Each structure stands twice: as C-alpha cells, then as structure tokens.
Structure 1
C-alpha cells in the first residue's frame, strides 16, 4: 500500500553533495527538498512540515550547530529529527554539543548509502506514524467531543422531559413511584411527596412509614393487591385513602405495573398515584344534590298542595288570585335558591324579591345584617313575607300612598329577629279572628321553623315580630339529606350591612 510521502530536507552548501544525497535517498520514495544554506533551510521550514533534516555541520555563515539551535527554538520543530553529516573527525565533545542542539544522529563522510538510507527510513517512518497517531487522536477527541455534546444534549432533553413530566404530574395532582422488588428500595418523585403531605427532606420512604399514612380501613386491600404480583399479576388499579400527618383525609387512585426478568420473576414495581379528592367531593355533592333536589321537589309540591287546599276566596277570581300570589312567592324563592345551586338565599335578596311587586316610590325601607338562609328556612320565610305584604297591600299601610313599611332584621345569637312595622296607613283595628294569612304566617314560622310570630295590631299600623332559629355550620359529611340543609352546611353568615332608607 502506498504510504504518505513526507518531506526530507537536505542542507549543504556544496551542490555535489546535495546531488549525491538525492541519488542515495531517491529510492525511499519520499519528497527530497534541497537547501544550499541555513537560511534557505529556515525559509522552507517556516512554510512546510519536515520529517527529517539532513544537515552538514560545516557550512559558511550559518553552520549546522547554529542552524540546529535556531530550528529547536521554534515550537513546531522541537521534535523534528536532525541528522548531522560531518567530513571531519568529530570528537565526543562535538557529538555532545550536537545532541544538545537537537541532533538525533551523526553520519561520517564518506557516507555509506545503505546506512544513510536506513537511518532516514527509520526517522521518516517514525514521523509518519507519529502524524497518523496525532490524526487518530484528533479524530478520537473529535468523536469524544461530539459524543459528549450529544450526551449532554440528550441529558438536557431528558432533564427537560422529566421536568415537564413532573410539572404535568403536579398540575394533574399526580405522583409517580418506583419500588425495587429485590432489595426493597423506594423512589418517590416530588408529586408523590406532595400528595401524601410529607417533606421529602425529612420523610424516609419505607413500607412502614408509607403504611402509617394509609387509611386503616384500606391497608388490607392494598396489601392483598401487592401480594398478587408474586403470583403473576402484572398490574393493578385501586382507590384508597390516605391520612396526612396534619390529619387531612385524601382520596387517591393508584395504578401499578410490574417488571419481570427473563425467568418471569418480579424485579421492579412502578406506579402512578392520582389525588381524586376533589372528584370524590364532587360526587358526594352531586349525590347530596340529587337527594336534595328530590326532597325539594316533594317539598314544593307539598307546599303547593297546601296552598291550594287551604286558600279561601270570596269567589273564584279571588281564590285564583290568592293561589297565584302564593305560588309566585314560592317560585321567586325557588329561583333565588336555584341560582345559588340550593346552597341558600341571602335574606336581603329574598325580602327584595317578595316586596318588589308592591314597592312604589319610597314607601318601603328594609335592611339589616347579611344573613345566608338555608333553603327550607328561605322557602318558609318567603311565604310568610308574601302573606304579610299581601295583607298590607289589601288592608294595611301599602293600601294607601301615604302608608310606610319598614322591615329590619338582625342576628341575636343563633336567632334571626325580624321586625315588620307599618305606619301612616288606614287606622288598624285588631281582628276578631285570625285570617288565613295570619294563621299561615304563625304556622309556617312556629310549626315549620320552630320560631315565634307576634302580631301587635296598633291603630297606627301593624307591627309583626318574627323570631327564627337558624342552624349553625355543619360539615358536609354529617349532613342528613332528609333535612332541608344547604350542601355546604352553612347556617347564618353575618356581615355588616346598613339598613336601607
């Protein structure tokens, strides 16, 4: 195989010698370059790479020793092989000086062609192998750099992917874990620690520590599911509860899959945990709401039935008008409750809706604390207010333009106190017997709500005082769907609100 030719520089001030060297070395097949002086040799060296320099020791102006010293000062030629040719007897001191200047060998004159060719061949081949090795090293370093850069990019992509996965898991209230089935080592990601409510810096993931966070009633089922892996099961999915260190109960769904070796033995189990507490709460609320809607519908029908059965009228027209008025009152409060998803009705909104059909100018003023009424209370109170305002429009203050009506309320402990006060209307006389409206108010407040309704028939106007006990907050898990309670368990909720008018 043809080898790569290298430059061999022949330096001598005598042309005949240079020609002789060329003839001797021609059969090596290398590039032979001649220089008649040290300066010519330096000019060529500065522009070209040289494998071996054959230089005469005795030359005018710049002898071989001086040329060798100048060549060795250049960083690029510090390892270039130089062979001295000397026509005079060289002493040991001269040889030592030559070696110090960078010579690698001496050739005496007369030159033995075979010896010179052998020496040049060895150093040329050594130069060639060195250059090949340098190229190989450079290529290897290039490949190493490229591979390193590729690995760094791959690691960066992997890290970015892991970060995106962690963010996705965290955003989806998810966590992942890995269990080495052989040595028992566990690995949790950040989402897993977050779901269980523990600090990754202090919590040690061990079977005992994990079991301590599981809801006691769910431990047996999870242990049975885990044991199935040893029997050949490859995956499982289960819902379970955890009890965080702060006492909060969370619902989770866990999915796990086993990795087996060539022998079919389980070596690793990996899984994902998803916090489904909000979904469970939504399902619970939906079930409660369904029961509540069913109960509300039955209540509404029962109320409508009672209104129709108990309403009296002087004639059909009066009867229809009375029934429609009470049904409309029930419909208005139903609308308010529907808008709040049956969580309750704010009393100010309720009063406003019931008196709106009779409100003209500044005849009516109302206001009080902001109180959230539960659905059953709101329905009953709405019917009571309807009876009061209807009675006032027929016989009381609202039956004349000069009449005035004031409605005020406040919370005293757990009791709603409402005062209905009429004035400046027709002269009032205490009725001999209670009409349907009065009986309806008393029955709804006292019988259905366990409160009290007091009527003071003053000549200047009716004063009605209503006292209604309100239930306080109750956790959703303790709600009895057969009672008329709001889904969020809220009772009276007080905030400051100035009276209107």
Structure 2
C-alpha cells in the first residue's frame, strides 16, 4: 500500500556504522537523513520534520544522552521518538537515564537487522498515523469553524455586533464607539472609557463632554470630521490628543465610518479609537537616538580626520601603526561606552583596555578608587592613556624590563587627578617639540574638558599629571557627547 514517506534521522560519528544503518533500513522505503554529530543533528531537526531518531549513545563532544535532553527541551520535539544504540553493556541505571532523557527504546550492538527494522517501522507507522489523525482533526475543526461562521452570519444584527467587537479589543489600548446621527445618542465600550480616563458611572457621553477631553489644539479635528460627513464622506481617520481628567496627555488615532440609508443620508457613525501614546514616545526616542548617533559619528570622524592629518612619522609603516593605534584606542572606548548605553565608563576599565596589548608582568602599579567618567571625559582620557602607554613602550620605562610605571588617581571636590610616574627606564631628555599625541592630549584635556595637563621630563622618567573636572559641562558640548579637538586647537597648544 502506497503511503507518504517519513524522515528517519540517523545520528552517529562513525561513517561505517551510518552506512550499515542505511543498508538495514533501506527496505522500509522511508527517507533516511544522516547526521555525523549531535550538533549536526540539531541543525537537521530545526529544518526538517523527523519521525524517528536513531542515535548512538557514545559520541564525542555531545553524547546521545545530552542530545536527547536538548531535543526534549524544544516544544516541537517533545513527542519525537528516539531510539538509542549502545555498543557497551547497558545497565538498568543507564536505561532509566535514557528513558528519562526521552528515549523510547534501546538497541544493543551488534545490531540485529530484523529487530532494528521492526522497531523503526513501528514508530514510523505511529508517526504516520498520528499525522493522519492530526489532519483529520484539522479538517473537522475547519468544518466546525465554517459551520460556526455560517451561524454567526445568519442575521444582520449579529454581523453588526461582531464587526464592533472585532474592531474594539479593549485591553486599554483600543476602544469602539457608536453615534446615532439622527437621535444624537452615543455608545462607548469599556475600552473607550479606559482610553479617555473616565468611567460610565460619572461621565455622560455627549459632544460637549467629549470635546472638553480633547487637546485644545486638536478640537478642530472633531469639527472637521463632522463637516466631512455632512459633505458625503463615508470614512475618516485622524490622529489627535486627549487630556485626561488627571492631566495626562495621550495620543490617539481615530477611525470612523458612516452608515447611510437608501437616500444616502447619514444615519449612524461608528468608529474605533486606538491609544498610540507608546508608539509616539518610541518614535520620539528613536528620533533622539538617530540625532545622537549622527552627532557621535560626526565627532568620531572629525577626531579620526585630525589623527590622520596631524600624525607625523619618518616612514609609511610607522605612520600606519601610529594612526591604527590611535583609532583602535578610540574604538575600544566606544565599545565600553556602548555596553553602558553611553552612560559612562570606569577609569580602571579604560586603563585595563590600554594595558591589554602589553605583557608587562609586575612593571605596573595601579592605585585609585572606582571612578565613573562621563562619555566625553572617557573618550579624552582613553586617547591620552593610549599616547602615554605607546610613548612609554617605545622610549620610556616600559621599553625595558627594569622600567617601572605607577598610575595613581584620586577624586576631590569632583576633580580627578591622575598621576603617571615612570622610573628605571632609559635616560629621559626633554623633547624639542611636541608630537601629535602630546598636542592632542593637551587640546582635549584643556580645551574640551577644562582641565590641566602637566609634563615633567625628569631624567629618571616622565612624570605626567592630569587634572580633569568630572562634572563640567561646556557651552558647546551636551552631557554625554564628545566633540573632537580641531586642528586649530591642536596647533595652539603645540608650543
């Protein structure tokens, strides 16, 4: 007898065993699907309807028990038949564990072809019969629904009621109303009262009372709608605001449709009101976020442009390394700020990020309390720290194993003081001119943050002290935003 083929999934990490199962089960005439690992089996299950799973208990990475547990956790596969194959002696405890994981049977190795085929055939037929029963149930449900629909449409009154019910699902976000154009009577459902923040026991629905709840700037919308219906319009939609008795302003969208008599005269207007306040607020937040992202992107590009334009090097490779290092430092602090939704960054985290590329052992000592930095401050200090670490690794204390670096910071009266002290490295001489790193550090700290940057080129090692206000808000930069120092600012402090 012809029947619809079902899919049987064979899971084993040994190709020879998979081939043997295929040969044994080929006589069943079903679709055999192969998976050589537990993870591959999971991928197959997500893409294919499987009737029976034949799985080896002992597999690397993900064994049969673990695979069964993961399969059973998915609602789609809680009833899928699984048969375990075990090449080792299976104890009663192992069998119980397998049944707990969802196995329906065990097959020992060596496999007896007739037994394996019989077991697979039973569960394949069971799957086929179950699907057939589900199809019959679905057909029955479809017939019941069709018959129910016929009964629901038997009278015009029932149809009208169902239309109002389908348009106005309350839950506080939607309401329906009906206005008898001839008698002037109004009908509001529960959702309509909830949206307007009033109750049927204390609020009489009539044009003056409804108008009193509309935002003054949107009252003309009601008048316009009435005028449109008098001109022959049959449907109208508009957005408007309401002011609830407690003073809360809500945004709504209203849709109205007119019913006319044989002479095309309006006799009734019915409508739906939907509370869209959350959508409006989400749109405002999205617009604000878009403007914020645009601002930050422009600032980042401006800073990158300054880095590229003002970086100096004697050869191309050195120039590329310098530019990449500075841009990567900017990228790292952006990642930290993104993880905090641009609320700020910990100073210690910035230092750890800049330390990451170096294997320094015990050469560095850090000392200071937890300090939360505003985004603009974090970006500036991240670039400053990058320049200090880079210069120290090339020419200073971190360029030799004997060198030592102490980074300490403290906060007093919302003023952050960070000290960078090198010792034990090569002999230090005061540079004749300032490079891009020093100039950008000075420009950012002093011009952008209103702080101070002091350098003492001692023979035993550089001593740098940065003083940065933690709460300063410049006239040109909003809190949480960062403006890159301009070329002019860099040149002003270049000395």
TM-score (structure 2 length as normaliser):
0.53
Instruction: Determine the structure 1 residue equivalent to 2:383.
Output: 383
Q: What is the rounded CA distance, in whole Å, between the counterparts of 1:423 and 1:283 in structure 2?
A: 52
Q: What is the rounded CA distance, in whole Å, between the counterparts of 1:357 and 1:323 in structure 2?
A: 16
Shift in CA distance, 210/331, structure 1 to aligned 2, threshold 3 Å: same
Q: What is the rounded CA distance, in whole Å, between the counterparts of 2:201 and 2:369 in structure 1?
A: 53
Residues 295-334 of structure 1 aligned to structure 2 (within 5 Å): 295-334=295-334
What's the offset of the Cα at 1:238? Answer: 0.8
Instruction: Determine the structure 2 residue equivalent to 1:234.
Output: 234
Q: What is the rounded CA distance, in whole Å, between the counterparts of 1:452 and 1:255 in structure 2?
A: 62
Shift in CA distance, 176/370, structure 1 to aligned 2, threshold 3 Å: farther
1:419 equivalenced with 2:418 (yes/no): yes
What's the offset of the Cα at 1:337? Answer: 4.7
Shift in CA distance, 442/430, structure 1 to aligned 2, threshold 3 Å: farther
Is the CA contact 2:398–2:425 (under 8 Å) kept in the aligned structure 1? no
What's the offset of the Cα at 1:407? Answer: 4.8
Is the CA contact 2:164–2:176 (under 8 Å) kept in the aligned structure 1? no
Helix, strand or coil at the partner of 1:357: coil
Residues 66-145 of structure 1 aligned to structure 2 (within 5 Å): none
Q: What is the rounded CA distance, in whole Å, between the counterparts of 1:400 and 1:199 in structure 2?
A: 79
Residues 228-252 of structure 1 show CA distances to partners (whole Å, capped at 9, x for unaligned) of: 1222222111112233444443322
Shift in CA distance, 389/432, structure 1 to aligned 2, threshold 3 Å: closer
Shift in CA distance, 484/181, structure 1 to aligned 2, threshold 3 Å: same
Residues 54-453 of structure 1 aligned to structure 2 (within 5 Å): 168-170=169-171, 173-198=173-198, 202-337=202-337, 343-348=342-347, 349-358=349-358, 360-361=360-361, 363-365=364-366, 368-369=369-370, 371=372, 373-374=374-375, 376-401=376-401, 403-408=404-409, 410=411, 412=413, 417-422=416-421, 425-426=424-425, 431=430, 435-436=434-435, 437-453=437-453
Q: What is the rounded CA distance, in whole Å, between the counterparts of 1:410 and 1:212 in structure 2?
A: 56
TM-score (structure 1 length as normaliser):
0.52
Shift in CA distance, 467/221, structure 1 to aligned 2, threshold 3 Å: same
Q: What is the rounded CA distance, in whole Å, between the counterparts of 1:221 and 1:354 in structure 2?
A: 60
Question: What is the aligned residue count?
Answer: 320
Q: What is the rounded CA distance, in whole Å, between the counterparts of 1:259 and 1:486 in structure 2?
A: 55
Q: What is the rounded CA distance, in whole Å, between the counterparts of 1:453 and 1:378 in structure 2?
A: 15
For structure 2, the residue ranges without an aligned partner over 5 or more in a row are 1-150, 152-157, 482-495
Shift in CA distance, 273/163, structure 1 to aligned 2, threshold 3 Å: closer
Shift in CA distance, 269/485, structure 1 to aligned 2, threshold 3 Å: farther
Helix, strand or coil at the partner of 2:170: helix
Shift in CA distance, 345/265, structure 1 to aligned 2, threshold 3 Å: same
For structure 1, the residue ranges without an aligned partner over 5 or more in a row are 1-149, 151-156, 473-479, 488-501
Residues 444-483 of structure 1 aligned to structure 2 (within 5 Å): 444-455=444-455, 462-468=463-469, 470=471
Residues 206-236 of structure 1 show CA distances to partners (whole Å, capped at 9, x for unaligned) of: 4334333323222223321232122222211
Is the CA contact 2:366–2:407 (under 8 Å) kept in the aligned structure 1? yes
RMSD: 4.3
Residues 129-170 of structure 1 show CA distances to partners (whole Å, capped at 9, x for unaligned) of: xxxxxxxxxxxxxxxxxxxxx9xxxxxx99xx9999699432
Residues 354-384 of structure 1 show CA distances to partners (whole Å, capped at 9, x for unaligned) of: 332236445353664463634x554333322
Shift in CA distance, 483/317, structure 1 to aligned 2, threshold 3 Å: same
Is the CA contact 2:174–2:191 (under 8 Å) kept in the aligned structure 1? yes
Q: What is the rounded CA distance, in whole Å, between the counterparts of 1:404 and 1:334 in structure 2?
A: 26
Residues 89-110 of structure 1 show CA distances to partners (whole Å, capped at 9, x for unaligned) of: xxxxxxxxxxxxxxxxxxxxxx
Is the CA contact 1:451–1:469 (under 8 Å) kept in the aligned structure 2? no
Q: What is the rounded CA distance, in whole Å, between the counterparts of 1:258 and 1:339 in structure 2?
A: 53
Q: What is the rounded CA distance, in whole Å, between the counterparts of 2:427 and 2:169 in structure 1?
A: 72
Shift in CA distance, 207/423, structure 1 to aligned 2, threshold 3 Å: farther
Is the CA contact 1:369–1:410 (under 8 Å) kept in the aligned structure 2? no
Shift in CA distance, 311/164, structure 1 to aligned 2, threshold 3 Å: same
Q: What is the rounded CA distance, in whole Å, between the counterparts of 1:200 and 1:456 in structure 2?
A: 78
Shift in CA distance, 366/208, structure 1 to aligned 2, threshold 3 Å: farther
Is the CA contact 2:179–2:268 (under 8 Å) kept in the aligned structure 1? yes
What's the offset of the Cα at 1:454? Answer: 4.0
Is the CA contact 1:425–1:461 (under 8 Å) kept in the aligned structure 2? no
Residues 36-69 of structure 1 show CA distances to partners (whole Å, capped at 9, x for unaligned) of: xxxxxxxxxxxxxxxxxxxxxxxxxxxxxxxxxx
